[in-house]
Amino acid sequence: MKEMMNMDLRQYRYFCAVVEEQSVTRAAERLRMAQPALTQQIRKMEELLGVRLIERAGRGIRITASGERLYERAVSLLRYEAETRIEVSDIKEGRTGILRIGVNTLSAGRLTGWVQEMKRRHPRITMQIHQGESAALIDRLKDHAIDVALVRLPIEAQGVTIEWMEEEPFYQIHHPDFPDADVIIPSQEGLGVFQTLSQQFGVVSQETCSDVLTLIGLVRSGQAVTLLPESTLRELDMTGLVRERLPDATSTTALVWLTEDGQSALTQQWVSIVHE
């Protein structure tokens, strides 16, 4: 095994050509190299392995048993090398690979269309969706656990490239009979949405619920009043509930990725779809 590792792929190609042509002369013509140079390469392989690979047989050659086994292995290695080149190229060009997307709790509903379009254009890729709060997603970016994230601003994160997408209004949602129920915010976004609500609307609440559907259930039963961005409301059944726009209370959605990593081909294609 050690001896085989000391040989390069070029030598394997040389030997395969000799076996397939059953002639050093024809193999040299096929490889467009001088016959003495090819003969020298075969001899080097034999010296390295300590075995005879080919023997003279009249005017031709005969492949030894060791040579036959080496040929089988060489064909497999060369095929594997070619497949690896294709796979690596496909990943580089974004034709295949894994795209790990982080999505903010309040923005998860917007993913469906983008994911469908990405899979339609690139059916060979694998997509992994990670839902969480903006601060947690930034941590995952820094840990290289995700490639790109959809977050709510503002965030504090050095080394992260931020691309603004849209600013949208917030609405207060409540049951018509319980407008004064306790305020429960969607999630404690650290320096993200929670800070926005606190500064722009004066919300002081220690109660949170990270699952939007559960939160709407609490509102529908009269146990809570909540605040949600417009894009989230479009994904929910608001029948029977009151929605009141909050003046000057807005939230900005942004795409973020690590500045040092830049955008892979897959990330670039994902960002392009999101912006369409």
Tokens of 128: 């992994």
Angle between helices 9-21 and 35-49 (to 10 degrees): 110
Cβ contacts of 158 within 8 Å, gap of 6 or more: none
Task: Compute CA 177 distance to the chain's CA centroid, rounded to the nearest angstrom.
Answer: 46
Residue 6, pLDDT score:
66
Residue 202, pLDDT score:
60
Tokens of 221: 């039963």
* Contact of 152 with 104, CB cutoff 8 Å: yes
Domain 97-275 carries which CATH code? 3.40.190.290
* Contact of 270 with 148, CB cutoff 8 Å: yes
Residue 190, pLDDT score:
47
How many residues comprise the chain?
276
* Contact of 191 with 137, CB cutoff 8 Å: no
- Provide the residue ranges of all domains of the chain, joining segments of one domain with +: 2-92, 97-275
Residue type (1 letter), 213: L
Q: Please tell me the distance from the alpha carbon of residue 116 to that of residue 135, in angstroms, as a whole number.
A: 27
Q: Please tell me the distance from the alpha carbon of residue 251 to that of residue 102, in angstroms, as a whole number.
A: 18
Domain 2-92 carries which CATH code? 1.10.10.10
What do you get for the CA distance between the two ends of the chain, in Å?
53
Sign for the pseudo-dihedral over CA of 201, 162, 269, 94: negative
Tens-of-pLDDT digits for all 276 residues of the chain?
444 456 788 999 999 999 988 999 999 999 999 999 999 999 999 999 999 999 988 777 899 999 999 999 998 898 888 778 877 776 776 666 888 999 987 777 678 888 899 889 888 888 899 888 888 898 888 888 899 999 888 777 788 888 888 888 888 899 999 988 888 877 655 445 555 565 555 655 567 777 788 889 999 999 988 888 888 888 888 889 999 998 877 888 889 988 887 778 888 888 888 887
Extended strands (E) in 125-241: 125-132, 148-153, 160-174, 226-229
